């Protein structure tokens, strides 16, 4: 397997790991939202803000990794390798 293919496979694996984390974070966010819908405590607002921040960070990382994969596939194509 070429070096570029290895990089693509590793990047795709990292993307799957991040997707799992996002799924877990979304579940926590749902539980928090429905557990105390009328509770306006600072602690819950802080927790919600932390979750949103983490969700956004992970989504940004997914986008970055997606771009990295596209760049690697373009590099493969330019090098004459068949991109999958």
Summarised one tens digit per residue, pLDDT across range 44-79 is 777 777 888 888 898 999 999 999 999 999 998 888
C-alpha span between 38 and 61 (Å, rounded): 33
* 75: exposed, middle or buried (Cβ count in 10 Å: 0-12, 13-18, 19+): middle
Considering the domain boundaries, does residue 84 fall inside one? Answer: no
Summarised one tens digit per residue, pLDDT across range 52-61 is 888 889 899 9
Considering the domain boundaries, does residue 71 fall inside one? Answer: yes
For residue 55, the enclosing domain spans: 3-78
Q: How many CB atoms lie within 10 A of CB 8?
A: 21
- State how many domains the chain has: 1
């Amino acid at each position: 397997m070429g070096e570029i293919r290895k990089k693509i496979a590793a990047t795709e694996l990292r993307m799957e790991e991040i997707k799992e984390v996002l799924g877990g974070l979304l579940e926590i966010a749902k539980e928090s939202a429905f557990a105390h819908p009328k509770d306006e405590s600072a602690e819950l607002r802080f927790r919600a803000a932390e979750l949103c921040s983490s969700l956004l960070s992970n989504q940004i990382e997914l986008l970055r990794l997606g771009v990295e994969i596209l760049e690697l596939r373009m590099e493969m194509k330019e090098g004459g390798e068949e991109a999958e």
